[in-house]
Amino acid sequence: MTCSNCGNKMSSRRENYKYTACGLDYVTLANLEVRRCKECGDVEAVIPKIQELHRVIAQTIARRQSRLRGREIRFLRKHLGLSGEDAARALGVGASWLSRCENNKTDLSPGCERFLRLMVLYDQPSRCYPLKDLLAEKDDKKPAPIRLDHGTSWQAAA
């Protein structure tokens, strides 16, 4: 293992590592391989299965009882692969308002918070349910009737 900064040899050991690169200042990875360069002081953490790690962090945040803070909202949005504009549209709010929530200038409403948590817990529904279906244009017309038939199970009728 050579340092990518200076090319000198790095030492390696297992230790607890504060993982701030995810944008959250309270995530600690236990018993992780951490490499250090004695010459330049560079530190490299070897993080296996980073997508799985981010999924676990996101689901842990979504299941917590406490209100979401700005950095958590941003982490969850990025985990879902949504831009600020797309996330705002999915939540039914303005992009500038969502930005203020992510920067702790205002709180996310309880309904938006629940929906964001559900999006995370149900494995990124933006992949299962196209955003265009969630973002139907609002109009003042009466809603179209829904007709359901029951054969062996309930289903939408044509």
Q: The CATH number of the domain where 83 resides is what?
A: 1.10.260
Which helix (H) or strand (E) is 54 found in, with range?
helix 50-63
Question: 74 with 53, same domain?
Answer: yes
102-110: list long-range contacts, CB under 8 Å, 24+ apart: 102/70, 102/71, 102/73, 102/74, 102/77, 103/70, 104/69, 104/70, 107/67, 108/67, 108/68, 108/73
Question: 82 with 7, same domain?
Answer: no
Query: What is the pLDDT, as a whole number, of residue 25?
Result: 87
Question: 17 with 77, same domain?
Answer: no
Question: Which pair of tokens denotes residue 83?
Answer: 């831009």
Question: 59 with 106, same domain?
Answer: yes
Query: What is the pLDDT, as a whole number, of residue 31?
Result: 87
Question: 109 with 98, same domain?
Answer: yes
Question: 10 with 66, same domain?
Answer: no
Side by side, which strands form the sheet with 43-46? 10-18, 28-37, 43-46
Question: 53 with 130, same domain?
Answer: yes
Query: What is the pLDDT, as a whole number, of residue 6?
Result: 92
Question: 39 with 63, same domain?
Answer: no
Question: 60 with 15, same domain?
Answer: no
Question: 111 with 63, same domain?
Answer: yes
Specify if 85 maps to a domain.
Answer: yes
Query: What is the pLDDT, as a whole number, of residue 50?
Result: 86
Q: Provide the domain limits for residue 121.
A: 49-134
Burial of 41 (0-12, 13-18, 19+ CB in 10 A): exposed
Question: 58 with 76, same domain?
Answer: yes
Specify if 110 maps to a domain.
Answer: yes
Residues 6+ apart with CB under 8 A from 3: 9, 10, 37, 39, 40, 42
Query: What is the pLDDT, as a whole number, of residue 52?
Result: 84
Query: What is the pLDDT, as a whole number, of residue 89?
Result: 92
The C-alpha angle 85, 87, 88, rounded to 5 degrees, equals: 65
What domain count does the chain have?
Answer: 2
The mean pLDDT values, 10 residues at a time, for the chain of 158 residues are 92 92 90 93 90 88 92 94 93 96 96 94 57 49 52 53
Question: 43 with 94, same domain?
Answer: no
Specify if 117 maps to a domain.
Answer: yes
Question: Which pair of tokens denotes residue 134?
Answer: 């969630």
